[in-house]
Structure 1
Amino acid sequence: MIEKPKEIFEMNNIQLICIDVDGTLYNGEKKIPEENITVLQEAHRRGITIAIATGRMYHYGKLYGETLGIPTKTIASNGAFVKDEEEVLLHEAMDEEDVTFTVRAIQSSGLYAHFNGWNTLIQQGDLGDGNGYVSANARLPEGEKVTFLATEDLEKTLLVKGGILKAIVFSNGDHAALAKLKRVFQNHPRLQTASSSKDNLEIFRKDVNKASGIEALAKKLGIDKAQIMAIGDEENDLPMIRYAGLGIAMGNATDAVKKAAHAITLTNDEAGVAYAVKKYVFQEAF
């Protein structure tokens, strides 16, 4: 564990722990280490709220949380959609002009992509099992399953459907094309990009991120930002790492995330989430 000399490590009043999924809660085999489950269950028993903060859609984030065996909150689509119980706290959709711009830019790049509403996934042509969504959907109960729409007229379908929260583009090994597409959005006044891995690019509103989602949830729960721990590993985790009273980078995190964090925990294959919670929330000595 690498630490920066900040007084924040002396505090032990964390009330909300916000955790990324891929590369953070999950290990390299896309499974949650048993130690992470045990420690987060103990945090819940102590009255601490656990939130899943993911780039994925709401019902999938909720599913990942349920895997822990405790009640959790969900910050979905990089903070564009936040729902607590039956109350929608945030639903930040792209406007029509920006959806059109995004579709055309992606189609010009020749890369594969799909677009997400809060409970709808839309793409051109056959979905396959892009990003594991189909297999994850099979695990959702009836009434919570995501609607998949395959269309040959992507732009028209998106505009008719509305409520688009983000696009996610996949490199399929062509990282140069992905980097070129990212530059198209570099100076866009209303849209931004982020990545949850080197193989994808997420496009969504510039005023949306995991930090804004956490802020909305914390306000509802009456929790101050100083009482929030955020744990992540990739570019789309940077806003919440910087926002939280205690930002933790995984040992496998990008250099940018490590630089922004207050501390660096073990890797996702070493149950780094559990280690960080035990050290900074439970104040256990190692």
Structure 2
Amino acid sequence: MAIKAVCFDIDGTLLNDIKSVQKSTQKAIKELHQQGILVGVATGRGPSFINRFMENLELDFAVSYNGQYIFTRDQVIYANALSKKDLYRVIKYASNKRREISLGTETGLVGSNIINMGTSRFGQLVSRLIPKEWARTVQRSFKHVVRRIKPQNHSNLLTIVQKPIYQVVLVATKEETQVLREKFPQLTITRSSPYSADLIAKNMSKLAGIRRVGRYFGFDVQEVMAFGDSDNDLEMLAGVGIGVAMGNGTEEAKKAAAYTTSSNNQDGIAKALAHYGLIHLENDINFSSSDDNFNKVRDFHELMDGRLQDIPQAFDPIQASHRANFKIEELVEFLYASQTSSADFEQSIASLHRALDQAVAKVKQTPPSKDALLGQVDALADLLYFSYGSFTLMGVDPKPIFDSVHEANMGKVFPDGKAHFDPATGKILKPADWHQHFAPEPAISLELDRQIRKAQARQKQREQQKED
């Protein structure tokens, strides 16, 4: 199925460890936009933190507060404030347990100095620099120091809750997550930090937020690629069309995802998008073409067999025969799809044989080309032109169809992480589960239905204009 939207978690995903967006990611987002693919974020962060990315990266949407508050650059799509009753109960719990707590308002987190510092750019940077074995000691010492300087006054929160609150952030260890779920069964408890829990409305999540965005823009959740690294990304990674876990992500995130890429410091986002053929990842060794479809197929061959030809070179007779046979198989499939009866198909095949004989007789009348590369390229270019001509006469836009086929081909890697080849022809083989998970026909069918509906709507509009 063609990908129509891509969304990123922010911390540990869109941002690297020094809290900046890598240049490869910035370039990738521009390429996605050029293809008409929507780009956004799905995060536990609030709107005030996200706004700078919305502007700087020209993002199309933001699922903030784990799906509680959703907006575009122009308007708020959805806002689901927590009930006052639930908020009072959580604040009372935090007060009794002497826990730091912050409330997510439309403008940002309000409450705990510890949480506010921990979620700040400075705090996030420091936390990345602390060795993991020191984390608990540093956490306990830091909380003790802050409390002595300025302990949290929970009573002040009762005034804040008079405004809409979309998320609660409560300092709690990972082991306490289940305790909170039992204490507050009417809320969803999720985590994006080892030190705190996020409390939101029941049945809400990043995935639920993405579904709402899809209804707004007109795409299905299976047409989404999502990137994440933490526990609050698990449902999203498992529920979208393609879930990608960052190399620096938790083991749970990697298990939930369809694919694990490099870390947030090693161009992980760009590499995954290139792996699935949504962008072309340039390097200094291999050339790239102005034809984006060519670049995608080149990425496919680099992934499958690692052999790329940078200097133009003709196929030898055996290789040329194999390539021609691949095309013949597709032509036969084309005729088979066109049949109305078995007799029609047999007649079409007989016609194909006659056409082949006629073509042989025709080309034999001319002397063989002294330049094999020129002759092969000229013939292939004509084939490409004929293919586009066929799409033109059918009234079908081939770009999204090509993208679906490319995504399917990129799924031909076997469980051992390698491509397998037919020993005789060198054709790339398909894994046993390829048809179940990657076959492009369902996505092509959906895309053709979309193009037909769109064309019918245009035709209806033209008819109405004539009547007017």
Normalised by the length of structure 1, the TM-score is 0.80
Contact 2:100/2:115, CA 8 A, preserved across alignment: no
Alignment of 1:143-222 (within 5 A): 153-161=155-163, 163-170=164-171, 175=173, 179-180=175-176, 183-186=179-182, 188-222=184-218
Q: How far apart, in 1, do the equivalents of 2:236 and 2:257 lie?
A: 10
Determine whether 1:107 maps to 2:95.
yes
Which of 95, 98, 106 is matched with 1:118 structurally? Answer: 106
**Count of matched residue positions in the alignment of Structure 1 and Structure 2:** 255
Contact 1:18/1:51, CA 8 A, preserved across alignment: yes
Question: Which residue of the partner structure matches residue 142 of structure 1?
Answer: none
Cα 1:129–1:198 change in 2 (3 A) is: closer
Q: Shift in Å at residue 120 of structure 1?
A: 4.5
| 1:202 aligned counterpart, secondary structure | strand
Q: For 1:43-101, what per-residue CA distance to the aligned partner results, in whole angstroms no more than 9, with x for missing partners? A: 11111110111111113223223333x34311111110011344322111110111011
Contact 2:110/2:116, CA 8 A, preserved across alignment: no
Contact 1:16/1:49, CA 8 A, preserved across alignment: yes
Alignment of 1:1-286 (within 5 A): 11=1, 13-68=2-57, 70-123=58-111, 129-132=117-120, 153-161=155-163, 163-170=164-171, 175=173, 179-180=175-176, 183-186=179-182, 188-280=184-276, 281-282=278-279, 283=296, 284-285=299-300, 286=303
Q: Which amino acid aligns with 1:84?
A: T
- For structure 1, list consecutive stretches of 5 or more residues without a partner in the other structure: 1-10, 136-149
**Which has a greater percent of helix?**
2
Q: Give aligned-pair identity as a percent.
A: 26
Q: Shift in Å at residue 104 of structure 1?
A: 1.5
| 2:95 aligned counterpart, secondary structure | helix
Q: For 1:120-161, what per-residue CA distance to the aligned partner results, in whole angstroms no more than 9, with x for missing partners? A: 4321679864521799xxxxxxxxxxxxxx966234213322
- For structure 2, list consecutive stretches of 5 or more residues without a partner in the other structure: 124-151, 280-295, 304-468
**Which has a greater percent of strand?**
1
Q: How far apart, in 1, do the equivalents of 2:101 and 2:202 lie?
A: 19
Q: How far apart, in 2, do the equivalents of 1:132 and 1:46 lie?
A: 34
Normalised by the length of structure 2, the TM-score is 0.50
Contact 2:228/2:237, CA 8 A, preserved across alignment: yes
Q: Shift in Å at residue 241 of structure 1?
A: 1.1
Q: Shift in Å at residue 116 of structure 1?
A: 0.7
Q: For 1:4-47, what per-residue CA distance to the aligned partner results, in whole angstroms no more than 9, with x for missing partners? A: xxxxxxx5x11100100101111111111111111111111111
